[in-house]
Structure 1
Amino acid sequence: GATWVSLKIEKGALRDRAITYGVYAALAVIVLYALGGVYLAYGGLGFKVVGDVAVNGPSNPRNAEVVKEAGAWLLNYGTYPWMIAAPVLGFVGTLLALLGLKTKADPWAFIGSSIGVLGIIGSVGVSMFPIILPSTIDARSSLLVWTASSSHTTLFIMLGVTLVFLPIVLLYTAWVYKVLFGRIEVKALKTNPDLY
């Protein structure tokens, strides 16, 4: 948020305050993200799939066995080394945002922030794969990529709806960004309180 404000607001006290908060937030993200990784390794968290999974079978969570295992969320990084790209992007993007904020290079701060968020959220997905929703009550009832799917008819209907509505959403979003392009000036807000 701070990188977006620094990109959109005119140069002045409000922008400087956003940059200051953004620097502290970026430092907190780096520290907390690293601590989260340590907690995943040593905090007793984790689930993993044992045995074979019928990837072409019926969608039934009971067709796969999931067990709790400490540190299991980190196993995918050994099995699929390319997945390390997600946490690396989380750290590198946040560092880029931090440097962009410190040097007041607003576009780089925003790009870095976006890359950092993408990497952090992506690391959750690649760490948990193939588990989508672990069950802490009954690990065997956890939902996997293959056991939480819909029927072919449902997926086809969803595809049709997406083909119709996604272009509309993208066009509307592009129009909004075009209308809201540029920096906001405080004097414009004083003369037109409905500007935003």
Structure 2
Amino acid sequence: MFDYETLKVIWWLLVGILLVGFAIMDGHDMGVGTLLPFVGRSDLERRVVINTVGPHWDGNQVWFITGGGAIFAAWPLVYATAFSGFYWAMLLVLWALFFRPVGFDYRSKIHNSTWRSVWDWGLFIGGFVPPVIFGVAFGNLLQGVPFQFDAYLMSTYTGSFWQLLNPFALLAGVVSSAMITLQGGSYLAHRTEGLIQARAIKGAIGAAVVMVLAFVAAGFWLQAIEGYRITSVINASALPDPLSKTVVREAGAWMVNYGYQPLMWALPALGVLGALSSAWLLSRRHTLSAFVASSSAVVGVIGTAGASMFPFVMPSSSMPSASLTVWDSVSSHLTLGIMFWATMLFMPLIVIYTSWAYRVMRGKVTAAYVQEHDHAAY
């Protein structure tokens, strides 16, 4: 069994891996949904687009569910505080996600142009809104969230939904949305051909440019934002107590880790170079390599946010000493240990099954295929 300190770091890494897995796997079908009304100009073309992700979009939801479950079990204080503070934002995500199962299953059941158009835009909402909200959430985490604890560790959130929509958070939302659109566009380009593929490539390249510009702008802006730094001695093996430390806010604090570990600069470089490489590969029709490159950009962007904040997970702007960190917002040693071995057992099964499913469904989705399977296709 690992010691408590090691398990805390391991679960920080595992939660990050789950978030990356969600952004890559569930992100590409959200990106396809975002592009749906624009790359499909006719009902048949839109059915082709939908059928590239229709058979497996729900299977990809396992990354979303597992990520949320892991945060609940490994970081219960983070889960409770975040879902209270971001309550309306999370509801907005859920309401947007409601369009996806109904849209995929019922969109093509009725031969009515109005009916189908409504669900096309419903799938767009279900693909576009969640990435924006998740990006806005990360933008607010980097600025600090207005919450505090009392002596009994009962949290109180003092902000509002509209305060979440501040300029830096909206810029982070642009980064997230463009990143997911690039992911979806590169996948769609790999699974289609002809005009649909050409439009998907054009949309993905545009998303890559927007993502890189917004990501670089956010990086420069972040240097001027007041980050957080622990000034007291931390006992990483101690029982969780978020009120036992002292924290200061200072400009440039989120850049300190890069001074300690210069190799961390590889993460933002990966975010930029991965997106640019994906755009270049798409322009040359190397679609599978482009999808791999866009996935590496996802790793770079999410990794940059996590590495910049470490060891903070959810900083508090109204009570900095109550900020939640890797060391003091976790479950017990026993819980983290049991969860670790359960993850080691089930994660390979998920990866193996997902790989098999995608292998079975590989190949191009064409208009001829949709017409031939008119009643079975989405």
What is the deviation of 1:175? Answer: 2.4
**Per-residue displacement from partner, 1:27-79 (whole Å, max 9, x unpaired)?**
0011000100111012x231111121111211111122222212211111111
After superposition, the Cα gap between the structure-2 partners of 1:166 and 1:108, relative to the gap in structure 1 and judged at 3 Å, is closer
Counterpart-to-counterpart distance in 1, 2:317 and 2:280: 40
Aligned to 1:28: 210
Equivalent of residue 72 in structure 1, options 247, 253, 271: 253
Code of the aligned partner of 1:169? I
**Per-residue displacement from partner, 1:131-186 (whole Å, max 9, x unpaired)?**
11111221111111111222122123313432443243223212211221111112
**Per-residue displacement from partner, 1:85-129 (whole Å, max 9, x unpaired)?**
100101111110111122221122111101111100000011001
State TM-score, norm by structure 1. Answer: 0.92
Code of the aligned partner of 1:153? L
Equivalent of residue 180 in structure 1, options 338, 358, 361: 361
State TM-score, norm by structure 2. Answer: 0.49
Gaps of 5+ in 1: none
Gaps of 5+ in 2: 1-183
Code of the aligned partner of 1:21? G
Structure richer in helix, relative to its length: 2
Instruction: Report percent identity of matched pairs.
Output: 34
Equivalent of residue 7 in structure 1, options 169, 186, 190: 190
Q: Is the 8 A contact 1:49 1:67 kept in 2?
A: yes
Counterpart-to-counterpart distance in 1, 2:286 and 2:352: 29
Aligned to 2:228: 47
Counterpart-to-counterpart distance in 2, 1:85 and 1:113: 16
Counterpart-to-counterpart distance in 1, 2:189 and 2:306: 30
Equivalent of residue 87 in structure 1, options 268, 274, 281: 268
Q: Is the 8 A contact 1:96 1:108 kept in 2?
A: no
Structure 1 counterpart SS, 2:229: strand
Q: Count how many residue pairs are aligned between Structure 1 and Structure 2.
A: 194
Counterpart-to-counterpart distance in 2, 1:109 and 1:125: 24
Aligned to 1:119: 300
Counterpart-to-counterpart distance in 2, 1:22 and 1:96: 12
Structure 1 counterpart SS, 2:213: helix
RMSD: 1.5
Equivalent of residue 60 in structure 1, options 217, 228, 241: 241
Code of the aligned partner of 2:205? V
Aligned to 2:328: 147
Moved more, 147-156 or 94-103: 147-156
